[in-house]
């Protein structure tokens, strides 16, 4: 059983996979936050695979990648009125 809210898995042969954990289903806001968060990881990875140097610099450090994704998710959630 997935103990995290969600998990994105990188794959070089296809778009990858996202798993959503039960913890993200406690309410609508948490579920949307988790889906957007994991989707952003996939988008970053796809940009990297297409040769983006900026995406490469972001995903080169997992701590920085998480910080970047969290900042984008927070901005998105505020813009959409979820926070």
At 70 the pLDDT is 96
User: Above 60 in pLDDT, residue 1?
Assistant: no
pTM: 0.83
CA distances from 20 to 14, 27, 57, 67, 71 (A): 19, 13, 26, 20, 20
What are 7-31's pLDDT values in tens digits?
877 766 666 778 888 888 889 999 9
The band of 35, judged by pLDDT with boundaries at 50, 70 and 90, is very high
Q: Where are the domains of the chain?
A: 6-79
What are 42-62's pLDDT values in tens digits?
999 999 989 999 999 999 999
């Amino acid at each position: 059983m997935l103990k995290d809210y969600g998990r994105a898995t990188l794959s070089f042969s296809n778009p990858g996979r996202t798993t959503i954990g039960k913890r993200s289903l406690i309410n609508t806001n948490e579920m949307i936050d988790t889906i957007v968060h994991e989707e952003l990881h996939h988008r970053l990875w796809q940009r990297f695979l297409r040769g983006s140097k900026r995406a490469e610099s972001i995903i080169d450090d997992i701590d920085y990648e998480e910080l970047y994704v969290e900042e984008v998710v927070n901005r998105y959630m505020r813009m959409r009125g979820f926070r």
